[in-house]
A and B are shown apart, each in its own frame.
Chain A
């Protein structure tokens, strides 16, 4: 299997995640876009792990750690969104301008 298509697809997922973060207005949708970015990083890690045939399998181990940290991140992120929604009655991030100078 050739490496380049997988790398280009991972780059595409990364840039789609960036697009989602910049364009989406709902905070939960921004978190979804962050998941896309993490997923593209996972694809890169797994592909290089297989390509280099690493003896210690550090690519796979890092991917498992990234998945764990992403689960924790989603939990905390949604808790924050929930608290913001409770205080401001909206989940649109362009209305959270309390800390804007």
Chain B
């Protein structure tokens, strides 16, 4: 049990340090790569909490798809690759740090006091039961979410494509 706790604390420490790098680095590609590490470490944390299905979904969807989308977005919008001093709005830095710090201290004060002495007892694998619940009791939201994905797909295509038919009509 001792080694388990050491690994957990190590993962939590790395999680915070990579997340700090996501918001402070002045290189856009480094920010995206740091987000990959943050998500991978979150996945490890989920595995330590014995929720292996969610951990794998996180790896597949986030690291596999969302990060690739982000890299596309960075390259298509021609964000200057390499170090870029213009990436941060320096006027907002102090205000942002103050707001974020106060939110952090408020949250951690409330949470540390509210959950004093509570412990997590991890149980074994739960994927089989999760699948049964997801496709029985929660089947309606499950289908609804697939409809949301379809709507997002159509909306994304409609927004991003050049509407040449519309331009032609204007000229006529």
Contact = CB atoms under 8 A, between A and B. Distances in A.
Interface of A: 1-9, 11-20, 22-29, 31-33, 35-36, 39, 42-43, 46-47, 49-51, 53, 56-57, 60-61, 63-65, 67-76, 78-83, 85-86, 91-92, 94
Contact of A49 (B51, B99, B145): B51
Closest 5 pairs (CB-CB, A-B): A72-B152, A22-B96, A20-B23, A19-B100, A11-B107
Contacts of A56: 133, 137
Nearest to B149: A72
A63 B126 CA distance: 15
Given A1-B122, A25-B86, A57 B133 contact: yes
Interface string B93-119: 101110111011001100110011011
Contacts of A53: 121, 123
Contact of B51 (A17, A46, A81, A94): A46
Majority-rule SS of B interface residues: helix
Contacts of B100: 15-16, 18-19, 22
B76 A82 contact: yes
Interface residues on B, range: 35 or more
B67 to A, nearest CB: 9
B92 interface: yes
Contacts of B88: 23-25
Contacts of B96: 18-19, 22-23
Contacts of A3: 115, 118-120
Interface string B141-154: 10001001101110
Contact of A75 (B42, B69, B95): B69
10 contacts: A2-B120, A5-B12, A14-B103, A23-B23, A23-B89, A26-B77, A31-B73, A35-B66, A60-B54, A74-B66
Interface of B: 4-5, 8-9, 12, 15-16, 19-20, 22-23, 28, 31-32, 35, 38-39, 42, 45-46, 48-51, 53-54, 57-58, 61-62, 65-66, 69-70, 72-74, 76-79, 86-89, 92-93, 95-97, 99-101, 103-104, 107-108, 111-112, 115-116, 118-123, 126, 129-130, 133-134, 137-138, 141, 145, 148-149, 151-153, 155-157, 159-160, 162
A90 B51 CA distance: 42
